[in-house]
Amino acid sequence: MTNNIMGRREFIQTTAKVIAATTLASSIGPPRALGAPAPVILITGTSSGFGFRMALTFARAGYKTYASMRNIAAENQESAQSLREAARHEGLFLEVIELDVTATEQAKGVVDEIMRREGRIDILINNAGAFVFTPIEIVPRDLWDFQMRTNVYGPMELVGLVMPHMRAQRVGLIIQVSSRVGSFVIPGISLYATSKFALEAASEAAHYEATHQGIDFAIIQPGAFNTEVNRNARKIFAAITMPLILKERPAGESHYRNFLQTLDGNFSGQPPRDPQEVANLALRIAETPRSERVLRYPVGDAWEIDPLRNRNQQIANFQRQAMQDAGFSHLYRP
C-alpha cells in the first residue's frame, strides 16, 4: 500500500498529482440523456492504483460512485481522505465505503446498503487484487487460499450479490480487472496467473448465462502499469508468502529466494505506463452501447496487446463452436 511504504508527504503529493491529472478524464464518453438518473457504480480496491483513479474518473463523469476499500480507519486512511476531499472540493457524488473483498458478510452489507440508498446498482468493477509470486512447487494450501479468495472467490461472490438486482433492473455491467496473464503464463507468477485465468473463465461463463437478462461482462486485461502492484506484492511476500513457506515448506526457502531474485530483476524494468489509461478504458466500456461492447479489452503496450488480441480471437472462435456443439449457440455473444 502506498501510504505504508511512502512517507506521508510523498503520498499526499502523489495523490494530489493523480487528482489533478485525472481531471481530463471527465470529458470522456457521450453525455447522458437530460433528466436520466445518474448510474450507480461500486468499485473495489480504490485505495491505490487503477481503483483510486477509476473512483475519481467515474465520479467526475457524473456516476454515483461508491469507492470501496478495506482498512479505511488504518492503513488506507489517507487514500480515503484524498477521495473524500476531492468529492467535497469538486461537488462529486463519491462515497468511500469499507469493503474487504474476502469478507462475505461485509460484501452483503455493502450491496444491501447501496440498494437501500439508491434502489439500484448499475455497474460493479471488481478491481481489487493481490499479486503473489512464488514458484508453484512450494505453494502451501493457505497461500492458494489467500490468492484465490482475493482474486477469484471474493470478486465472484460480489458478482453473485449484484446480479439479482441487475436482473430485476434488466440492465447491468460487470467489469472484471484481469491481466494479460489471464491468458498467458509467466514462470514465477503462476499462482497469480491461475487466479486470473479462473476469474476470466468464471466471468465468461457468467456472461453467457446473463447476457440475455440485460447483464454484460467486460474483462479488462492490463499489461504492465505503474501502480502499487509490485510494492504490494513485496509486502505480501514478507507478511504472508514467506511466513507460510517457512512454516509449511522449510526446505523450499533457499530455492524460493534464488527464484525471487530473478523475478525482482525482471520486474524492476517495468515500463511506467500511466494507470489512468485503464480508468479511462473502464469509463469508455461503461459508455459504450451494449450492442458494441465486447467481452475482453486488452490494454497496455502494443507488444502486449497484439498477442492478446490474437489469443482473444482464437478463444472466441473456439468458444462459439463449443457453444454451438453443446446446443447453446443462442447464448453466444462476443
Ligand X SMILES: NC(=O)c1ccc[n+]([C@@H]2O[C@H](COP(=O)([O-])OP(=O)(O)OC[C@H]3O[C@@H](n4cnc5c(N)ncnc54)[C@H](OP(=O)(O)O)[C@@H]3O)[C@@H](O)[C@H]2O)c1
Enumerate binding residues for ligand X (CB under 6 A). 1, 44-45, 47-51, 69-71, 76, 100-102, 127-131, 150, 177, 179, 222, 224-225, 227-229, 232
Kindly state the cell numbers that stand for 247: 512454516
Closest residue to ligand X, based on beta-carbon distance: 49
Nearer to ligand X, 151 or 252 (CB): 151
Nearer to ligand X, 69 or 96 (CB): 69
Residues 6+ apart with CB under 8 A from 35: none
Nearer to ligand X, 48 or 203 (CB): 48
**Helical H segments across 124-216, by residue range:** 141-148, 154-169, 190-210
Element (H, E) at 13: helix 8-21
Residues 6+ apart with CB under 8 A from 89: none
User: In whole angstroms, how close is the CB of 24 to ligand X at the nearest point?
Assistant: 19
User: In whole angstroms, how close is the CB of 80 to ligand X at the nearest point?
Assistant: 10
Nearer to ligand X, 203 or 227 (CB): 227
User: In whole angstroms, how close is the CB of 105 to ligand X at the nearest point?
Assistant: 14
Sheet holding 215-222, edge to edge: 94-98, 64-69, 40-43, 123-126, 172-177, 215-222, 296-299
CA–CA separation, 63 and 123 (whole Å): 10
User: In whole angstroms, how close is the CB of 54 to ligand X at the nearest point?
Assistant: 9
Nearer to ligand X, 51 or 172 (CB): 51
CA–CA separation, 38 and 45 (whole Å): 22
User: In whole angstroms, how close is the CB of 197 to ligand X at the nearest point?
Assistant: 12
Nearer to ligand X, 252 or 275 (CB): 275
Q: How many CB atoms lie within 10 A of CB 249?
A: 17
Nearer to ligand X, 18 or 101 (CB): 101
Residues 6+ apart with CB under 8 A from 153: 102
Strand runs labelled E in 48-149 = 64-69, 94-98, 123-126
Nearer to ligand X, 163 or 233 (CB): 233
Q: Burial, 194: exposed, middle or buried (Cβ in 10 Å; 0-12, 13-18, 19+)?
A: buried
Core vs surface per residue 31-41: b (16+ CB within 10 A) or e: eeeeeeeebbb
User: In whole angstroms, how close is the CB of 120 to ligand X at the nearest point?
Assistant: 23
Nearer to ligand X, 127 or 252 (CB): 127
User: In whole angstroms, how close is the CB of 169 to ligand X at the nearest point?
Assistant: 25
User: In whole angstroms, how close is the CB of 273 to ligand X at the nearest point?
Assistant: 8
Residues 6+ apart with CB under 8 A from 179: 192, 193, 196, 221, 222
Q: How many CB atoms lie within 10 A of CB 334?
A: 12
SS3 content of the chain, % helix, strand, coil (to 5): 60, 10, 30
User: In whole angstroms, how close is the CB of 71 to ligand X at the nearest point?
Assistant: 5
